[in-house]
Amino acid sequence: MDEHSIIRSFDGRETSDVSFSGFNFGNVWQIIEIAYEFGYQLTGVSHRRTSIRFSFRRDDSGIARARASWAHGYYRVHGTWARPVPSVRLTPSLGARIDHRQAAHARYDLAFARDRGWVLQIAGVLAALLAVACWRFREEVAILLPLLGVGGVLVVGVALTPFVTLKRHQRLERTVEMYELQQAVERGFMPPPPSPDVGECKE
């Protein structure tokens, strides 16, 4: 999937879905990064047997619109997408610089985690297989009881997977938030936050 096809999906419409066959991680990160530059937020990731679909929503915040305006202007002139050269240096208060690809990974993981349907589908299949197995061995207690124990734990574990990763989810959100803050400061859209030691009395 070439960059021109991707960019055409982010022409200012309120929502946009981008789908492609196969699973090339190079395409995945490129789509997410281009969408960000053209002012869109990744809201969902849907996996199919032979394809993947991304769902995006236009970000109407002032900073996102300014970022999109620059990206569209650059694309019209140069026929390709790019990021502006940082006009402001990051201060220590903004922490270690977050790479564009690292931010794309975090956006992908967050969007993928929101789509819990696939997990429940797996749990449903496992439950159905467990029911069939229990019926098959219903008169053989020595097999039935361990089967119920192991199978039940497995089904519950799969179903609860999305709900026991809260700490990781929060870490990913912090990564995305800090990346956006760093980008806004580097591009001159907002002033850098004050250093934590500003205002402290020195003896």
Q: Considering the domain boundaries, does residue 139 fall inside one?
A: yes
The total domain count for the chain is 2
pLDDT of 120-164, one tens digit each? 556 556 666 666 666 565 566 555 556 556 556 555 555 555 555
Check residue 194 and give its pLDDT. Answer: 77
Pick the closest to residue 127 from 169, 90, 84, 159 (CA basis). 159
Establish if 103 belongs to a structural domain. Answer: yes
pTM of the model: 0.71
Domain assignment present for 15? yes
Question: Is 172 found in the same domain as 122?
Answer: yes
Structure tokens at 88: 């402001």
Least confident window among 75-79, 108-112, 138-142, 169-173: 138-142
Q: Biggest alpha carbon distance in the chain? A: 82
Q: Are residues 107 and 188 in the same domain?
A: yes
Answer yes or no: do 125 and 169 share one domain. yes
- Residue 139 tokens read as 């008169």
74 domain-assigned: yes
- Amino acid in position 102: Q
Same domain, residue pair 80 and 104: no
Q: Are residues 42 and 120 in the same domain?
A: no
Residue 201: what pLDDT?
Answer: 47
The whole domain housing 53 covers: 1-84
What is the Cα–Cα distance from 48 to 31, expressed in whole angstroms?
17
Is residue 112 very low, low, confident or very high in pLDDT (cuts 50, 70, 90)? confident
Looking at the structure, do residues 116 and 180 belong to the same domain, yes or no? yes
Answer whether residue 189 is part of any domain: yes
CA nearest neighbour of 16 among 45, 46, 40, 34: 40
What's the sign of the alpha-carbon dihedral 138, 143, 149, 150?
negative
Domain boundary, last residue among 34, 53, 84:
84
Nearest to 185 by CA among 84, 58, 39, 82: 84
Strand-pairing partners, residue 20, are: 52
In a domain, residue 203? The reply is no
Residues 98 and 176 in one domain: yes
- Do residues 140 and 63 share a domain? no
CB 48 within 8 A of CB 120: no
Q: Is residue 202 part of a domain?
A: no
Q: Which amino acid makes up residue 10?
A: F
Q: Which residue carries 């109407």 as its tokens?
A: 60
| Residue 183 and residue 96 in one domain | yes
Name 112's Cβ contacts closer than 8 Å, sequence gap at least 6. Answer: 45
| Residue 201 domain flag | no
Q: What is the CA radius of gyration of the chain?
A: 23
- DSSP SS3 for 41: strand
State residue 127's pLDDT score. 62
Domain limit, last residue, from 31, 58, 84: 84
